Amino acid sequence: MTIKELCCDLVFKKVKSQPNFNKYFITDFVAIQRKSFYTLLEKGIIEEFSKRNPITNTKKTIELFFYPNFYQLTPPKYTPTQAIIKSKSYTSKLYIPVQLTDQTIKIKKFKQKKEKIKNLTGVLKNNFQTLTTIQSRTYDELYFNTIKRHGIGSDSALLLKRQSFTRSKIIKLKWVYIGDIPLMTKRGHFILNGCARVIVNQMIRSPGIYYQKKIYENFATKWSEKPESSFTRYYADLICNRGTWLRIEMDKYNKIWAQMKRVPKIPMMWFLIAVGLTDKIVLKSIMDSKFLLYNLQEDPLNPKKKPLPYVKTPPAAWTKIYNLVFSKKLKKNTKLNKEDSITLQKTIELKSEQGRKWLFNKFMNPRTYDLGKVGRINFNTKLKLEISTNITTLTPQDFLAATNHLILVSKGFRELDDIDHLKNRRVRTSGELIQIQIGIGLVRLEKTIRDKITLLSGLSIQSFNKLGSLKKKSKNEKKTKTNTNYKVRISNIMNTKPFNGALREFFGTSPLSQFMDQINPLAELTHKRRLSSMGPGGVTRDSATLLIRGIHPSHYGRICPVETPEGKNTGLVNSLTAYARVNSEGYIETPFYRVYKGQVQKKTGLYFFSAKEEEKIKVAAPDLYTSEIGFLPNASIPVRIIEDFTKIGRNDIQYVGVAAIQMISIATSLIPFFEHDDANRALMGSNMQRQAVPILKPQRPIVGTGLEARAVSDSGHVLTAKYSGIVTYISSNKIIVYSSLN
């Protein structure tokens, strides 16, 4: 034994830290609401408007550009108290500078003349290219008045009108009123129409890729105890923030398919080649190629079943996928008449192009598919990729690595994922939920703006119903004239209804927007720290299983195992623990003290770890006896490593818990002698405390836990000083605090 260890043992006394000794060093209980709304104002609004830039018409002659970095919020018309009294909303008006670029077109007409054009298809192609790609300020353009069809490919007589177009660019910049944004009060709730509302935090599956298995059992009869046969299916779920969820599944015949909702399953070999990979790259990168080539060969056991064709090039794969996905829709259409219908003829010729667009819009278009930075990090970590976090769509490397990883999982070389682990679940706070709704409102606003500027521009190409024949103008079309010298104003194309309507729908009808529970301060505080697994993108009461409702080892210090409602919502609605907080990525963190060579380093501060980070450290319980200078006992100490418990020496311990109440919520920590209660009765007690009606003359409890004052102060029901100081005067009217910071 060294001299240092001997001295530590000499001064060792059974000094057990009080469970609530650091109660005033706990994070603010309502900080989860306020910080998330602050993040919305700092980053969320800017991100959503930046996604919509720029908004143009079909010909790109008019462009609308937002400058969200310079947005301004006006002071609210009413204070929170006035809004409640007058039944108004506590909101602020959002103004953003908008730039309108208008490239007007003036037309000068020339005399008409007849020309013979041999290649009708080439003229059509050149004409449409001229309309869409304009570079010079003054140019000539041809358009058709009449076409006399004499057959495809033969000479056609065309009457052409020659016109000269002059382009000029006009740029306007103006502050535009977008809509009203509800503001959060200091107490962490919103006031709409005089009613206090709380946005409940939502617990959802984190975006990324997750590998799981499902065992299917076949019983001979209903009364059979043992299954007659069973097989295992391995699958990978590719989860995103916005877009279509994709499942890569291996069936009982070891065949790999790509599956989506309301879409027939696609052979994975077709899918990989369709995203841009070659067959040589696929076969070299996959561990065992038989998992991909299975369905491209004849089945000797089932000779009637036709083998799927082998494809080598992306265009061939796009065509096959298009035929597979849209086969039912094509059957419903009328019979194809190549001579009369140009639309159906284009469909036949461009199947590969339409298949490519369908696949691109599903997984590679940033406007329709988004993994987020969290999802991209998950893909890179699990599949060992080095793709930039700025790329939030799926890439060919993702599909190839995911397929190869699935084969490794089926062979036992890789582990399955625990979907109930908190490292695979994240929290959507109130600010993020409002940001999603703002994005929905801006999509509606973009659609209305694009429709208006397209209508005001007045530039439209005549549509042809049949090849070589001009569509007859109706009486209404003859009366209307194209406005060539138009003027577009920002005030005419902007509208506040889409933005305000989206927010009104969310705050008024969303299951996550609830009336605030105001029976007592504890009820209000608990409501703002609640976690719900239900809502949009979550689970339902009927479909939730016991695994989702149960307690997981990763919940320690993050989700209270006691406080949850009784009935159908059991386990689906939970509460954060007293010391827990949510980081910027949405993962729940809990604090620990660092241990250095057996000594608890309390002066270095708290170290917060998420569930994924906690797997790498050795953690001891917080209720250990320590010496006067913070040394742990020189004996085998029980610790938790990942999900296992073992005993190690004090020098091997890395971190120790902060307090005994670290694993329970605020309401549960207010129960005296909680450790002696039955679990079912403790659950009822923590729920029924929120139903207690406040008394007229408040009194101190005879027996308390020490957190009563902190719970009331953070709820906002008491007066709080801005600075610490000395109380020099107190009366029923005012309190004077002397502070050097004033």
Do 60 and 175 fall into the same domain? yes
Out of 527, 556, 578, a domain closes at: 527
Tell me the average pLDDT of the chain: 80
pLDDT confidence tier of residue 304, bands split at 50, 70 and 90: low
Of 529-533, 592-596, 694-698, least confident by mean pLDDT is 694-698
The answer to whether residue 733 sits within a structural domain is: no
The answer to whether residue 611 sits within a structural domain is: yes
Q: For residues 42 and 93, what is the distance between their CA atoms, to the nearest angstrom?
A: 16
**Joined tokens for residue 702:** 């005879």
Please tell me the predicted confidence (pLDDT) of residue 167: 56
Please tell me the predicted confidence (pLDDT) of residue 279: 81
Is the confidence at residue 293, as pLDDT, over 80?
Answer: no
Q: What is the mean pLDDT of residues 231-254?
A: 88
Please tell me the predicted confidence (pLDDT) of residue 668: 94
Q: For residues 316 and 307, what is the distance between their CA atoms, to the nearest angstrom?
A: 16
Please tell me the predicted confidence (pLDDT) of residue 163: 47
Do 464 and 540 fall into the same domain? no
C-alpha distances (whole Å) from 575 to each of 264, 519, 544, 675, 721 are: 41, 18, 18, 19, 28
The answer to whether residue 390 sits within a structural domain is: yes
* C-beta separation of 665 from 576 below 8 A: yes
Of 26-35, 161-170, 449-458, least confident by mean pLDDT is 161-170
List of residues 6+ apart from 151 with CB closer than 8 A = none
Vertex 89: Cα angle to 83 and 93 (nearest 5):
120
Q: For residues 146 and 53, what is the distance between their CA atoms, to the nearest angstrom?
A: 40
Out of 660, 679, 698, a domain closes at: 679
Please tell me the predicted confidence (pLDDT) of residue 153: 37
Of 319-328, 380-389, 475-484, least confident by mean pLDDT is 475-484
C-alpha distances (whole Å) from 402 to each of 237, 247, 383, 426 are: 10, 10, 7, 22
Is the confidence at residue 467, as pLDDT, over 70?
Answer: no
Please tell me the predicted confidence (pLDDT) of residue 278: 84
Of 89-98, 284-293, 346-355, 658-667, least confident by mean pLDDT is 346-355
Please tell me the predicted confidence (pLDDT) of residue 299: 52
Q: What is the mean pLDDT of residues 29-42?
A: 94
The answer to whether residue 515 sits within a structural domain is: yes
Give the pLDDT confidence of 541-583 residue by residue, as tens digits.
Answer: 888 888 889 999 999 999 999 999 998 999 999 999 999 999 9
The answer to whether residue 734 sits within a structural domain is: no
Please tell me the predicted confidence (pLDDT) of residue 166: 53
Is the confidence at residue 298, as pLDDT, over 90?
Answer: no
Is the confidence at residue 450, as pLDDT, over 60?
Answer: yes
Do 198 and 210 fall into the same domain? no
Please tell me the predicted confidence (pLDDT) of residue 487: 63
Which has more confidence, 76 or 293?
76
- Count of structural domains, the chain: 3
* C-beta separation of 632 from 650 below 8 A: yes
Q: For the domain that residue 298 is a member of, what is the CATH number?
A: 3.90.1110.10
Which has more confidence, 303 or 51?
51
Q: What is the mean pLDDT of residues 477-487?
A: 46
Can you give the pTM of this predicted structure? 0.81
* C-beta separation of 458 from 484 below 8 A: yes
Give the pLDDT confidence of 257-267 residue by residue, as tens digits.
Answer: 899 888 888 88
Give the pLDDT confidence of 134-151 residue by residue, as tens digits.
Answer: 333 333 333 333 333 333
Please tell me the predicted confidence (pLDDT) of residue 429: 94
457 burial (CB, 10 Å; 0-12 / 13-18 / 19+) is buried
pLDDT confidence tier of residue 344, bands split at 50, 70 and 90: low
Please tell me the predicted confidence (pLDDT) of residue 146: 34
The closest alpha carbon to 183, from 108, 89, 311, belongs to 89
pLDDT confidence tier of residue 159, bands split at 50, 70 and 90: very low
Do 114 and 187 fall into the same domain? yes
Q: For the domain that residue 586 is a member of, what is the CATH number?
A: 2.30.150.10
3-state secondary structure of 192: strand
Do 123 and 220 fall into the same domain? no
List of residues 6+ apart from 677 with CB closer than 8 A = 671, 685
Please tell me the predicted confidence (pLDDT) of residue 305: 59
Do 225 and 362 fall into the same domain? yes
Please tell me the predicted confidence (pLDDT) of residue 490: 81
Phi, psi of 152 (to 5 degrees): -70, 130
Is the confidence at residue 718, as pLDDT, over 90?
Answer: no
Do 264 and 392 fall into the same domain? yes
Q: Print the domain residue range for 636.
A: 3-23+529-679
Please tell me the predicted confidence (pLDDT) of residue 456: 72
Do 86 and 184 fall into the same domain? yes
Please tell me the predicted confidence (pLDDT) of residue 194: 92
Do 211 and 327 fall into the same domain? yes
pLDDT confidence tier of residue 301, bands split at 50, 70 and 90: low
The answer to whether residue 711 sits within a structural domain is: no
Do 360 and 293 fall into the same domain? yes
Is the confidence at residue 288, as pLDDT, over 80?
Answer: no
Work out whether the CA dihedral 164, 169, 172, 176 comes out positive or negative. positive
Percent of the chain residues past pLDDT 70, beyond the cut? 78
pLDDT confidence tier of residue 284, bands split at 50, 70 and 90: confident
Out of 630, 657, 679, a domain closes at: 679
Do 63 and 188 fall into the same domain? yes
The answer to whether residue 713 sits within a structural domain is: no
The answer to whether residue 361 sits within a structural domain is: yes
Is the confidence at residue 133, as pLDDT, over 50?
Answer: no
Q: What is the mean pLDDT of residues 417-438?
A: 93
Of 129-143, 516-530, 594-608, least confident by mean pLDDT is 129-143
Q: For residues 641 and 706, what is the distance between their CA atoms, to the nearest angstrom?
A: 31
Is the confidence at residue 323, as pLDDT, over 50?
Answer: yes
List of residues 6+ apart from 333 with CB closer than 8 A = 344
Do 226 and 370 fall into the same domain? yes
Q: For residues 146 and 159, what is the distance between their CA atoms, to the nearest angstrom?
A: 6
Give the pLDDT confidence of 359-380 residue by residue, as tens digits.
Answer: 888 898 888 899 988 999 999 9
Give the pLDDT confidence of 646-681 residue by residue, as tens digits.
Answer: 999 989 999 999 988 899 999 999 999 988 999 999
Which has more confidence, 319 or 24?
319
